[in-house]
Structure 1
Amino acid sequence: MTNTVSLKRLVPGLIIGPASWLGPYIAAASLFLPALIQQIDAENKIQLVALFSTCGMVFAAVSNMVAGYLSDRTRSRFGKRTPWLVGGATAFMISMILASMANSIPFLLISWMLGQIALNFIVAPMVAWLDLAPEDGKGTASGAYGGLGMALGNNGFTIFAAMFLGQFRLGFIIFGIITFIGTLLAAIIVREPSNLDEVLEESAKKEKKTLKESLAIFPSWSISRDYYLALIGKLFQGVGNFSITGYLLFIMTDFLHKGTVGTQQSIQLINTIMLIFGIAMGFIAGPLADKYKVLKLPVGLSTISLGIGALSMFFLQNDVGIIIYGFAAGLGMGIWNSLDNLLNLEVIPDKNRIAFFLGVYNLGNTITQAIAPVLAAFVISQFSFSAIFIVSFIFSAIGGISILSIKSVTR
């Protein structure tokens, strides 16, 4: 039987934990790393940022699955997740300190890749903390993790990080330390129960497996249809979202023809609306999902809401369209971030590999952030800027339809 942790302990940990790894990562990846690359090799900075992003995606994908696999099989007095995420936070802090000392691209690349590996040894075990929530509180726990923790990490830390743009080497160190302290604090608050007495299903049954079964890391479609539909929904939702947010600056300047002040105000307005909705849905969406036992419908419709927001800018091309996008995308992302991990938890095909499957699912964030800009750049070059709004709508709609096609979750 799975150990449970009271929401009084779990919810604060699920807010502080993801904010502590996501915020510093976003700050380092979007501000400190490009600034340091420019200082070391300004002539090749565009290509180098792309190289770091691509390598980071590969290392993240592999390390995420490995971290989930090892975490699922860990037995300790601190539980199966805590040793790995605390170790990962320590290694991430060290890698950021090393990055701050870099004076060459190879040294910086090695430090950054070590950081990517370490980060995913926090991410994969931590998201599996959701399974520690009581059955009638899993929605609340999911809302705390995705709605509040991720919202604070995505939006809250960037304001603070901008203060270190003139001292970006110090920024690496400070934000690496924040990750370590925040993750450790989250682990202390949650106090994951010991699982030393837990027996692996494989050991208990001692079944003989065929070679084919042993190599089947991912179950077949017939067994895991709903999990794969959720994963498809995640990937299409991510591309639909990031194809707009990744080019928001150029949408304002090149598509809507706004000046510097107008561009700044519009981007601030969109981010403010999305932050408000993200925090609000973190408080509201999870508890409502628990109370009314509804999950699939809000997650599926939240994805479609992103597409509607994209169409508003395509058709209106003015401030009204921007505001509608902010509300539609803010509502959609707020609900999605609050509930999508819980939906995935419901459709996982193997409950003995929760961290592994949740980790693979959360790779959708990394992969789509790499795919979306490339796809958007191709569409813009082949057609026009307006075409990315259509692409965003189509991908978001397919993502929503995939989620709504899940059968094992009825509502």
Structure 2
Amino acid sequence: MSQKVIISIKRLVPALIIGPASWLGPYIVMLGLFLPALLQELDAENKVAMLALFAATGSIISAISNMVAGALSDNTHSRFGKRAPWIVGGAFFFMLSMIGAAFSEGVAMLLVCWSIGQVALNFIVAPMVAWLDFAADEHKGKASSAYGGLGMALGNNGFNVIGAMFLGQFRLGFIIFGVITFIGVLLATLLVHEPSNLNEKEEAREEKQHYSFSMDSLRQVFPAWHIGRDYYLALIGKVFLGIGNFAITGYILYIMTDFLKLGDQTQSGIQLVNSIMFFIGVFMGFFAGPIADKFKILKLPVACSALFLALGALALYLFHDMTGVTIYAFCAGIGMGLWNSLDNYLNLQVIPDKDRVGFFLGIYNVGNSLPQAIGPVIAAAAIGIIGFSGVFVVSMVFALIASLCIFSIRSVTR
């Protein structure tokens, strides 16, 4: 068996902050602001349905490409290691596809560019989450908090504050944020400086010679429920919470303009929400992990984080003004800050096969990409049935189910 790669936490932590922030931030800005704005320009009458179409297409592409990217990176041997070639390549092609989106003159061309971007994005995401396994066991909590708490907080909210400034120049925004992704991901990859794994090529060749496909081997890849129960519950919880979150964030522009009727206050409203959520998320990223380690609690804060998101959605449902927006920002900020800081750490504790951490982290990461696509689809259906209030009902219900899933995990008691 090849020797496990350990990367210094001093290099890994900044990379795990810069890396996810660099792909998630621009993507969230484009999905939540630039894409809806461009669709409104290209097809204003069908903008809600078109956004749902883009989301559904992205969902299918993300699910497939994430698994393919993870499998390819697991079996890659190069002087730059397993993950780096795919991560940098994905960032480069994502940048090119977003530049193409900026020059799209019709919905069809935009859909093609967006779809290529989804593939490229997952060739960043799937290998990058496996960087968590480069941390020594005693530092995995710090690595998880850096990736999920600080990196995801920067990505989810920090970039939207800047992105809102480009609402009047959203085509330029596609280009600028595509370039930001490439530069940030490249910097993070250089910080990690994954060592060569060319020495593993011969070992991998010998393993393939002894491998034969069977139903037993398939069951080993995806463990039965009684073996992987807690892992599957964590995965289901992640997907449901993500859907609850993106049901609102995916339509935040339309909520501000068509539902709350903020008009000229739309930009400031979006900046307020993301500023509050950003600072709370960063705070959680610094303190959630160390506090969880000190008091030996993990399941409880992760489960309660979903309840905070449900409370934030309830505020928007009850208060159709900036009061509701502010309460939502604080509650969702606490909820998503806690979740992003600790959910990867929780997943590390419930992985059914400790020898395949990278694989299971990659599958778990589908819980990031799928909700970003599925959430707006479900929200669009709710809008069509009962109006924009349906978005908040969807968010509450899915967040509550996510909380129940996490509370049902048995192997982590607190």
What's the TM-score bracket when you normalise by the shorter of the two chains? Answer: 0.7 to 0.9
Whether 1:237 aligns to 2:237 is no
> Which residue of 108, 132, 138 maps to 2:110?
108
CA RMSD of aligned residues (A): 3.2
- C-alpha contact 1:68 1:124 (8 A) present in aligned 2: yes
SS at match of 2:130: helix
Letter of the aligned partner of 1:344 in structure 2? N
CA offset at residue 328 of structure 1?
Answer: 2.5
Q: 1:173 to 1:329 in 2, by over 3 A?
A: closer
- CA distances 1:130-174 after superposition (whole Å, capped 9, x unpaired): 111121221211111112112212222223334444444433332
CA offset at residue 11 of structure 1?
Answer: 0.8
- C-alpha contact 1:82 1:192 (8 A) present in aligned 2: yes
SS at match of 2:195: coil
Whether 1:295 aligns to 2:298 is yes
> Which residue of 87, 92, 99 maps to 1:90?
92
- C-alpha contact 1:71 1:355 (8 A) present in aligned 2: no
Question: When the two structures are superposed, what TM-score results if normalisation uses the length of structure 1?
Answer: 0.86
Letter of the aligned partner of 1:174 in structure 2? I
Structure 2 unmatched runs, 5+:
none
Q: 1:405 to 1:20 in 2, by over 3 A?
A: same
Cα distance in 2 between the residues matched to 1:46 and 1:300 = 32
Partner of 2:190: 188
Cα distance in 2 between the residues matched to 1:388 and 1:112 = 24
- C-alpha contact 2:161 2:274 (8 A) present in aligned 1: no
- Greater displacement, 386-395 / 45-54: 386-395
Whether 1:272 aligns to 2:281 is no
SS at match of 2:223: coil
Partner of 1:357: 360
Letter of the aligned partner of 2:72 in structure 1? L
Cα distance in 1 between the residues matched to 2:399 and 2:195 = 39
> Which residue of 371, 376, 386 maps to 1:373?
376
Partner of 2:7: 5
Cα distance in 1 between the residues matched to 2:194 and 2:79 = 9
Cα distance in 1 between the residues matched to 2:176 and 2:268 = 29
- C-alpha contact 2:237 2:406 (8 A) present in aligned 1: yes
SS at match of 2:365: helix
CA offset at residue 235 of structure 1?
Answer: 1.8
Partner of 1:327: 330
Letter of the aligned partner of 2:278 in structure 1? L
- Greater displacement, 358-367 / 35-44: 35-44
What percentage of residue pairs aligned between the two structures are identical? 60
> Which residue of 122, 147, 150 maps to 2:149?
147
Letter of the aligned partner of 2:409 in structure 1? I
Cα distance in 2 between the residues matched to 1:405 and 1:197 = 43
Cα distance in 2 between the residues matched to 1:33 and 1:350 = 39
Cα distance in 1 between the residues matched to 2:305 and 2:42 = 42
- C-alpha contact 1:18 1:150 (8 A) present in aligned 2: yes
- Greater displacement, 383-392 / 272-281: 383-392
Whether 1:409 aligns to 2:412 is yes
SS at match of 1:193: coil
Letter of the aligned partner of 2:225 in structure 1? W
Q: 1:132 to 1:330 in 2, by over 3 A?
A: same
CA offset at residue 407 of structure 1?
Answer: 2.3
Letter of the aligned partner of 2:349 in structure 1? E
Partner of 1:161: 163
CA offset at residue 16 of structure 1?
Answer: 0.9
Question: When the two structures are superposed, what TM-score results if normalisation uses the length of structure 2?
Answer: 0.86
Alignment of 1:24-43 (within 5 A): 24-40=26-42
- CA distances 1:97-149 after superposition (whole Å, capped 9, x unpaired): 33334344443332222211111000011111111112122121111111211
CA offset at residue 386 of structure 1?
Answer: 5.4
Letter of the aligned partner of 1:5 in structure 2? I
- C-alpha contact 2:32 2:253 (8 A) present in aligned 1: no
- C-alpha contact 1:138 1:290 (8 A) present in aligned 2: no
CA offset at residue 262 of structure 1?
Answer: 7.2
- CA distances 1:251-296 after superposition (whole Å, capped 9, x unpaired): 67887x6754777666544333211110101111122233344322
